[in-house]
Amino acid sequence: MNDKLAAPKGVPEYLPPESATWLAIKDFLSQQAVLAGYGYIELPVFEDTALYVRGVGESTDVVSKEMYTFTDRGGRSLTLRPEGTAGVMRSVIEHHLDRGQLPVKLWYAGPFFRAERPQLGRYRQLQQFGVEAIGSDDPALDAEVVTIADRGYRALGLTGYRLEITSLGCAQCRPAYREKLVAFLEGLDLDEETRQRARINPLRVLDDKRPEVIAQMADAPLMLDHLCESCAEHFGEVRALLEAHGTAYVLNPRMVRGLDYYTRTCFEFVHDGLGAQSGIGGGGRYDGLMSELGGQELSGIGFGLGLDRALLACQVEGLTPGPTTPLDVYVVPLGAARRQAALLVGELRAAGLRTDQVFGERGLKGAMKAADRSGAPFVVVLGERDLEAGVAQLKTMSTGEQVPVPLTDLAAYLTTSLSTRTENHQ
């Protein structure tokens, strides 16, 4: 077989050194959920197809066009998870997590699968970090969830994004609003395809990007102006709490989310530097989802932040969160010092220093070249004569300066040097 193997179309891979930034992004974002008391949940990557049909909604693009569905050897229809919320809900119901303390607060991270047309920032295997908080409709929980995402982005150093929020109303006020919108749409001059879209979900016409549709939709009725008293009060409180948290937002009353389960508070984080795929994260409240999936009548709220897009946003803003070097120290043994060097490498790693060494017979010149390419800021050269004297030569790569350091002090010496180095970098 001569065909070259390649990763499937639309599936990104993250290789060193970029993958260190990838891991750091996941850590920085999820740290905010840990700080707010969310517990980690590891979920199946595939589930019964029915879960997504019932949970996400048959009329959505995600379910009708983008699912990776297959029949297993037992004849069951399974689907690679296109999103995380339905799976979390299924697990909470199945394992009775909703019978304990409420709200149940969970976070997750990993790959999701959507058969979309690939382009920069839009992938068939995408990764998300997400949270779900189930069992309370307190607006304080809405503000907490939104703020966790915002704090996470800030911790990465991102500034070129905005938070858009709206309220989609509830089972009380949405049907009447929907009727109003349908009546309004009937009076417009829309092409058949748009009418078809409107029949499935009239709200989708609100975020149509074509100028001729935008112009006609200028006076369309908006959900925000038709909220019932209780939704209006809820949304007002969410806004006041976001302001109290110092979480800046703009209202986007025309926001349309791609999944059917949303009610009340909905939000999206939009980055201006990413072109067409500008949504770096989004979420909202989903008051009917749990009962739809056979559980109690409990409400919930959560978000999914696109990790692939967060990485792109960091690249656009010139940010590299996480360690600035792939290694702390690189060890170069000379001649018969190899076994001693192996011991030293072990000791340095045990002291928490990211340590690697040269492998193979390289000679001093080749070994120093390898040391240089390793990216470690410090190199330890261990020769036979130094060993007899109980020292190693420590070279600082940025200055080229080399000093003998007693082997017994080496780990402590390096730890101190690295911490002053980090301080100088900050």
Q: Contact 97/66 with Cβ under 8 angstroms?
A: no
Comparison of 103 and 333: residue with beta carbon closer to ligand HAM: 103
Q: How far is CA 184 from its chain centroid? A: 38
Pick one of 26, 264, 309, 395: the residue that binds ligand HAM (CB under 6 A). Answer: 309
Q: Is the peptide bond before 103 cis (omega within 30 degrees of 0)?
A: yes
Q: Among the candidate windows 36-44, 306-314, 323-331, 401-409, which touches ligand HAM by CB under 6 A? A: 306-314
**H or E element, residue 345:** helix 338-350
Question: How are strands ordered across the β-sheet holding 355-357?
Answer: 355-357, 329-333, 378-382, 391-396, 402-406
Q: Which residues pair with 106 in a beta bridge?
A: 39, 132
Pick one of 55, 103, 169, 284: the residue that binds ligand HAM (CB under 6 A). Answer: 284
Q: In terms of residues, how long is the chain?
A: 426
Rounded Cα distance, 75 and 383, in Å: 65
Site string for ligand HAM, 90-129 (x = CB under 6 A): ------------------------x-x----xxx--x-x-
Q: Is 302 in the site for ligand HAM (CB under 6 A)?
A: yes
Q: Which residues pair with 263 in a beta bridge?
A: 285
Name the CA dihedral angle for 255, 260, 262, 267, rounded to a multiple of 10 degrees.
-30
Q: Is 279 in the site for ligand HAM (CB under 6 A)?
A: yes
Task: Kindly tell me the burial class for residue 37, based on how many C-beta atoms sit within 10 Å of its own C-beta (0-12, 13-18, 19 or more).
Answer: exposed
Q: How many residues bind ligand HAM (CB under 6 A)?
A: 26
The SS3 assignment for 68 reads: coil
- Residue by residue, DSSP assigns 146-161 as HHHHHHHHHHHT--SE
Q: Is 55 in the site for ligand HAM (CB under 6 A)?
A: no
Comparison of 136 and 325: residue with beta carbon closer to ligand HAM: 136
Restricted to residues 217-276, the positions that interact with ligand HAM (CB under 6 A) are 258-259
CB of 17 to ligand HAM, least distance (A): 22
Pick one of 152, 169, 202, 281: the residue that binds ligand HAM (CB under 6 A). Answer: 281
Q: Is 280 in the site for ligand HAM (CB under 6 A)?
A: yes
Task: Give me the numbers of helices (H) and strands (E) for the chain, helices first please.
Answer: 15, 16
Residue type, 55: G
Q: Is 306 in the site for ligand HAM (CB under 6 A)?
A: yes
Q: Is 161 in the site for ligand HAM (CB under 6 A)?
A: no
Q: Is 283 in the site for ligand HAM (CB under 6 A)?
A: yes
Q: Contact 288/55 with Cβ under 8 angstroms?
A: no
Pick one of 47, 83, 142, 208: the residue that binds ligand HAM (CB under 6 A). Answer: 83
Q: Is 303 in the site for ligand HAM (CB under 6 A)?
A: yes
Pick one of 21, 32, 79, 85: the residue that binds ligand HAM (CB under 6 A). Answer: 85
Residue ranges in contact with ligand HAM by CB under 6 A: 83-85, 114, 116, 121-123, 126, 128, 130, 132, 258-259, 279-284, 302-304, 306, 308-309
